[in-house]
Amino acid sequence: MTMIFHCFRCLPLIWVVIPLFFFSLMCTFLSYYGLREFRFDLINNVEAVKVEEIVGDVYHSAEIFRMNYAEMEKDFKIYLYPDGDYMNNKHLISGWYASEGYFSKNLRESSFVTDDPDRAHLFFIPISCCHKLQQQVASYKEIASKIGKYLGIIYSYPFWNRTLGADHFFVSCHEVDIEATVGVPRLIKNSIRIACSPTYNTVGYFPHKDVSLPSVMYPFPKPAGRGHIHNRTILGYWAGNCNSALRNKLVKLWGKDQELDIQNTTFYKAGRMQKFYGAKFCICPAGSRVTTSRIMMAIRYGCVPVILADYLDLPFSNVLDWQKFSIILKESDVYRLKDILRAKEVADFRMLHNNLVKAQRHFQWNTPPVKYDAFHMVMYDLWLRRHVVRY
């Protein structure tokens, strides 16, 4: 040890200092960039957690939803029956019934699908009445006949008879589906029907069994937006066709009001669409059509929906607390509409708007789908209905 120390004393000082300097510089360099990479990884992980974060403001129970959703992602399996010669299943992601196209496309390309029927929780029947219209089928009766023939093929599989179709489901968004599927009672009474904008009094729709599908019109007239609340100066907005007694009453009562912008016109024209960004509340009155995308458009553009309808089965209502990001009224409330909106503007608008922004992702259709979007929310609704009695 003494000899080593003596050797170092004999070395010029510069030979000792220079290596120590470079060694210190190297340690500093590695430490800085190592910590920086760690910091970047930490920030990215935090951002990833934020993307998947489920907060309690818009849910009945965020914790239950979180746990059940994770289980669904891991375990849920769907068996797809083969497309029949009678059915055109090239679903189009366009027009008023784009939701049906989005769902069918995403399901077929998802990891939920299994080729093993013994692993399946539910069975998907690939029928689409709306696309039969493009083939100019003569009548509802003829469509029902074709569905019945295709179901004859389904009946030949052993899976239908285990539950009489209770663990089977199909998707339908067109008005023609109501008339056509009523002609196939075993399908409409037993199987799960995924329907666009259904009401409790819709023929053949059973809320405890069936699923409400968020209805959208694609392509969207305007890009999605949240809209700063200070830029929203219109108290209430509606523009559309007066095709129901309620809408006629709405225009008659409030069409000339200075605070409410109520117009009997085609609501999706470009000039009228801009009002979605400037209104605090977007009124969604029941019309003559079974399906409507108006509520989903209000949500997309950050305008708090005012749902003026009786018996409407709102999408994902077993998960989302609609009272936290919308206003739900009876049709008879049209006479008090302005007073109700004024009171909500003062007391609840900021809260409703903030919660609406949080809820937007659950109504967004994507392809490929992303976590917690509309496709996965529909799958979650199906997951909750997987427990059926097998005979």
Express each pLDDT in 326-372 by its tens digit: 999 999 999 999 999 999 999 999 999 999 999 999 999 998 999 99
Domains along the chain with CATH numbers = 69-218+369-384 (no CATH), 229-363 (3.40.50.2000)
* Alpha-carbon torsion (40, 43, 49, 52), positive or negative: negative
Express each pLDDT in 182-211 by its tens digit: 778 888 888 999 988 777 666 778 888 999
- Return the SS3 of 87: coil
51-72 in b/e burial notation, b at 16+ Cβ within 10 A?
eeeeeeebbeeeeebeeebeeb
Residue type, 10: C
**So what's the pLDDT on residue 39?**
36
pLDDT band at 92 (very low <50, low <70, confident <90, very high): low
Mean pLDDT of the chain: 80
Query: What mean pLDDT is predicted for residues 364-389?
Result: 92
pLDDT band at 385 (very low <50, low <70, confident <90, very high): very high
Query: From the CB of residue 146, how many other CB atoms can be counted at a distance below 10 Å?
Result: 20
> Which of 87-91, 148-152, 299-303 is most confident?
299-303
Rounded to whole angstroms, how far apart are CA atoms 207 and 211?
Answer: 7
